[in-house]
Amino acid sequence: MGFNLTPVVKNLLIINFLLFLLSIFCLYQFNIDLVDVLGLYYFNSPSFQPYQIFTHMFMHSYVDPDGGISIMHILSNMFGLFMFGPMLERVWGAKRFLIYYIVCGLGAALIHSAVIFFEVKDLANAKDEFVANPSVQNLIQFAKAHGRINPEFVNAFDQHHKDPIVVKHAIQQVKEAYNAKLNVPMVGASGAVFGILLGFGMLFPNTVLMLLFPPIPIKAKYFVLFYGLFELYAGVQVSPGDNIAHFAHLGGMLFGFLMITYWNKRSNRFY
């Protein structure tokens, strides 16, 4: 694969890196977190704004769990855009490629929001059941639905669930955990990049890619298939500490597949 940047890919890289640097500058100079402003919140969150459906795909997380600066999120996404984007842009042209990129990003937001809708619905039911009947079993059910309740907290409640002060504290913790679920923004170009990966696998299915881990060759079509299956598996798991929007990735791939299929039906070629 050649590494000569095409116009749209080059401009997308510039925009993403500039916003990444601007986010760090605003945080440390003005204490303004642009992720809170431009990241995509659940539509029922008080922080949700319609424009976030678009702006989230140009933002990336930049603070690691220890409070330092992390560049891994943006580097991984931009590496995928850099590697696979130019070949698709050369095939489709700048306009068609940009449309594809944006639609995949919007599709990622749509699927992610739909999944959050059902997750929040189940979580709300579990919260209400615990508040009405703060039993150990109901706390366990809420913890399973949420996926991130500290097991030590559940064990402590199990030992002291008859103490009114402990019960009051547990109810407050459950309410805070529920509200936090509503107010975690999604950011990143991952949905659009996964759409690009899907497009590359469809247009160049037999191109051999060399993986880094493990260092083995694999055809693009199998790489995309395995990656998609992995994202599906990871998405249905409730894993504490997993901050990755797996269904957003799948949403980008799904909308990419639909667009290419539509274009293919309208022409003898994909463009």
| Separation of CA 69 from chain center | 19
Distant-in-sequence, close-in-space partners of 140: CB < 8 Å, separation ≥ 6: 154
Q: What distance in Å separates the CA atoms of residue 15 and residue 65, rounded to the nearest whole number?
A: 25
Distant-in-sequence, close-in-space partners of 77: CB < 8 Å, separation ≥ 6: 16, 60, 188, 189, 190, 193
Q: Which two tokens stand for residue 127?
A: 């919260």
Tens-digit pLDDT profile for residues 119-132: 888 889 999 999 99
Distant-in-sequence, close-in-space partners of 46: CB < 8 Å, separation ≥ 6: 183
Q: What is the pLDDT of residue 239?
A: 60
Dmax (CA) of the chain: 71
Structural domains present in the chain: 7-117+184-266 (1.20.1540.10), 118-182 (no CATH)
Tens-digit pLDDT profile for residues 163-222: 889 899 899 988 988 888 788 899 999 999 999 999 999 999 999 998 777 788 999 999
Q: Which range (92-96, 196-200, 239-243) has the least confidence?
A: 239-243
Q: What is the pLDDT of residue 227?
A: 87
Q: What is the pLDDT of residue 270?
A: 47
Tens-digit pLDDT profile for residues 6-28: 999 999 999 999 999 999 999 98
- Half-sphere CA count of 66, side-chain side, radius 13 A: 3
Tens-digit pLDDT profile for residues 136-149: 889 888 887 776 66
| Separation of CA 120 from chain center | 16
Q: Give the Å distances, CA to CA, from 208 to 188, 201, 213, 216, 224.
A: 27, 10, 15, 10, 12
For residues 67 and 248, the model is more confident at 248
Q: What is the pLDDT of residue 148?
A: 63
